[in-house]
Structure 1
């Protein structure tokens, strides 16, 4: 074995332990302090190293290094290996380069974001194409370009979708990824949602006295904003038959915000629990609160309602506090942490799972609505909301 491969074995051994020594508190807006090298050396002595697996990796590395048609530098091969290791854990965990991590730290957890390009519809070709890419855009470096046609986003074909539907696919939680496929035969290109989108909670009181509150994402002030909206209607003595929370296309946001919002409408009991191998288990309980106990509630979800939106929905559904309508939710019930690395990069990794008050796992399963009401392609959104609210009014939701 050459000196280079011996050094590689040692490097991989160190990498096998680095996730222990470099673990940090969950951060998105601030960087955790790095752990010193002495801790890494001490952990290296106490952690079992899978020698046979490392040797097998070194053999494959040597084969690639010597025989691949194009010469690849060591740094590039190492980074590919790291990306494969982390990215293969689940569809949410990933390796962040120093540039990606630095960019992510500019945001606050719970921000809504889009990718660094827009999509325009070409009526003559009945296809969507990329526009708005600038010279420094990350997507340009990945091979995308202005004028390039887009066939699928996240494995969903764009043909036949309206602008709002396409926009809903583009939007998501900051730092999440979007898979872009430019033709049926081309491989998907993974881009990061890194362009912040400012969208506020909106409210509409319909003629049937249903108050529709649209929550695009759960942020730090979401619970207070909703509380203020409801108290304003109470002060003005405006009649409200029912409140409908529209959580369609809500990618989640802050777990704490979802818990605080659910706590407005629950008087006791579990809101959500988390289970983790390294973090331990946590249970979030509702505090006594009767301010809105007589308010009838409904929740509207679809297949893009995820994470914190699912936590809020499951809490009110399991406690029979709200009638849930629409489509089954996405099924993302994970807690992630950022693990900063000494070279300025970071690992974004799943460390916990969410569980509903009834003990059901959310991740990979989603939340089933009490009443399925799919949105037909030929139905306008305003008409769909009318249909949903009329159905909600017919249902008598039991209160606690």
Structure 2
């Protein structure tokens, strides 16, 4: 029995949570946001810690008595996962154990191709909650909105349902249907949305030329080759404009994040020099990532658009360009996910994603639970009339989140007054600002 318990304890020291408060079912994987660094740890590394072994003695005894005397014969696997849930339940929402199936899906997400409906969700008050539907996906086309509560998946109640189970139920063969029972604010009764599953291919960069001289680029998420696609889009726009652009709108609204390296490369494209982001951890020295002193794109006026669905990698880009006085940030306050996750490969197809650091903007601002406050607050008509902005779930709303440095202090305020519009025309305001850039300039 002692050998079995020892092996069991060793595994517990390496694995993480299955039922988590937040998981991404979109092209924004949590591997994403952070370092692509993977580390392998053997069980002996854990077991050799004498102090840890003493602390685990009580756990070993509990396990022994459960296996010996419980009224039924429990599964060791279930006991293990239950212990893991309790252990990582004391940490932040983004530290998670990924089964081989979930880890495989995570890697597929970052490549921009996966099967399913295309939503980013979390768990709140024992129910699934939509953070954001991904643009262009079945969920987006079906009209799901941030803040929608998913009460049922087909006939199964989501109350108490783990995210791993939800993944299995919402993903399926392309062409098959899934029925989601939705509860929405200001809608009297729950209603059913039928979504046809599809192979989700996320086109991470979309572009358009406005009035023949202003560029518009939307980054849906930061996936592999996003920076490369950005450069291609900008080159195409300049060719269409038959010369240099007079200005650019970089739209990061409802972009839930993505690969850190791609976010850095995107910010680097607009910076000739200077810091982009820095990370600070408990075990390692502060790491700084800076522009490569080449500034690929011309120094035309730049507007970065954000909202409450802009998270993590999006906040890195917006914060860097704002702090380096390269762009005016316009929209509404961002999500506020400023933590760094590292993926630890467990060697059996499973992985542990663990929060290991916080990241900061070039001026040292912590994004965690605070987000990026735009230079110009502009709410869409829907936001003004129906308080849509309140529907956005933010990092500070997640149970167990890491607190931001100023979270207990006074609320941050915008640098300019809110602009309320008769129509949802944040993009129009951004264009108007570009046209008047010479009059107002950066940050006015």
The TM-score, its normalising length taken from structure 1, stands at: 0.69
8 Å contact from structure 2 (residues 12, 83) kept in 1: no
Q: Deviations over 1:274-326 (max 9, x none)?
A: 12234543211112235544300001011111111111110000011101011
Looking at structure 1, the residues matched to 297 and 37 of structure 2 have their Cα atoms a distance apart, in angstroms, of: 39
Q: 1:364 aligns with which of 363, 369, 373?
A: 369
Q: Deviations over 1:314-344 (max 9, x none)?
A: 0000011101011111112233222222443
- Secondary structure at the aligned position of 1:256 is classed as helix
Q: Which residue of 2 aligns with 1:109?
A: 110
Does residue 1:198 correspond to 2:202, yes or no?
yes
Q: 2:79 aligns with which of 77, 100, 105?
A: 77
Does residue 1:55 correspond to 2:31, yes or no?
no
- Secondary structure at the aligned position of 1:204 is classed as strand
8 Å contact from structure 1 (residues 258, 308) kept in 2: yes
Check 1:78–1:393 CA distance in 2 against 1; reply closer, same or farther (3 A cut): same
Q: Which residue of 2 aligns with 1:99?
A: 101
Check 1:291–1:336 CA distance in 2 against 1; reply closer, same or farther (3 A cut): closer
Looking at structure 2, the residues matched to 366 and 31 of structure 1 have their Cα atoms a distance apart, in angstroms, of: 25
Looking at structure 2, the residues matched to 294 and 104 of structure 1 have their Cα atoms a distance apart, in angstroms, of: 36
- Secondary structure at the aligned position of 2:310 is classed as coil
8 Å contact from structure 2 (residues 118, 200) kept in 1: no
Q: Which residue of 2 aligns with 1:231?
A: 235
Greater CA deviation, 310-319 or 334-343? 334-343
Looking at structure 2, the residues matched to 155 and 229 of structure 1 have their Cα atoms a distance apart, in angstroms, of: 28
Check 1:385–1:112 CA distance in 2 against 1; reply closer, same or farther (3 A cut): farther
Backbone CA RMSD of aligned residues: 4.1
8 Å contact from structure 2 (residues 341, 355) kept in 1: yes
8 Å contact from structure 2 (residues 112, 203) kept in 1: no
8 Å contact from structure 1 (residues 267, 290) kept in 2: yes
Looking at structure 1, the residues matched to 117 and 230 of structure 2 have their Cα atoms a distance apart, in angstroms, of: 32
- Secondary structure at the aligned position of 2:292 is classed as coil
Looking at structure 1, the residues matched to 226 and 201 of structure 2 have their Cα atoms a distance apart, in angstroms, of: 16
How many pairs align? 339
Q: Which residue of 2 aligns with 1:23?
A: none
Looking at structure 2, the residues matched to 318 and 339 of structure 1 have their Cα atoms a distance apart, in angstroms, of: 32
Check 1:71–1:93 CA distance in 2 against 1; reply closer, same or farther (3 A cut): same
Deviation at 1:80, TM superposition (A): 1.9
Greater CA deviation, 39-48 or 250-259? 39-48
Q: Which residue of 1 aligns with 2:10?
A: 14
Q: 2:431 aligns with which of 383, 386, 389?
A: 389
Looking at structure 2, the residues matched to 82 and 253 of structure 1 have their Cα atoms a distance apart, in angstroms, of: 26
Check 1:32–1:308 CA distance in 2 against 1; reply closer, same or farther (3 A cut): closer
- Secondary structure at the aligned position of 1:48 is classed as helix
Q: Which residue of 2 aligns with 1:300?
A: 305
8 Å contact from structure 1 (residues 373, 388) kept in 2: no
Check 1:32–1:270 CA distance in 2 against 1; reply closer, same or farther (3 A cut): closer
Highest Rg: 1 or 2? Answer: 1
Q: Which residue of 2 aligns with 1:136?
A: none
Matches within 5 A, 1:1-400: 3=1, 10-11=6-7, 13-15=9-11, 17-18=13-14, 40-41=43-44, 44-49=47-52, 51-52=54-55, 54-55=57-58, 58-59=61-62, 62=65, 72-105=74-107, 107=108, 109=110, 111=112, 116-117=116-117, 153-154=129-130, 166-167=143-144, 169=146, 180-182=150-152, 186-187=159-160, 189-190=162-163, 191-192=166-167, 196-207=200-211, 209-235=213-239, 236-238=241-243, 240-289=245-294, 292-377=297-382, 383-395=425-437, 396-398=440-442
Looking at structure 2, the residues matched to 266 and 397 of structure 1 have their Cα atoms a distance apart, in angstroms, of: 17
Looking at structure 2, the residues matched to 238 and 11 of structure 1 have their Cα atoms a distance apart, in angstroms, of: 66
Deviation at 1:9, TM superposition (A): 5.1
Deviation at 1:16, TM superposition (A): 5.7
8 Å contact from structure 1 (residues 306, 331) kept in 2: yes
Q: Deviations over 1:65-91 (max 9, x none)?
A: 8668x7642221211222332354221
Check 1:373–1:57 CA distance in 2 against 1; reply closer, same or farther (3 A cut): farther
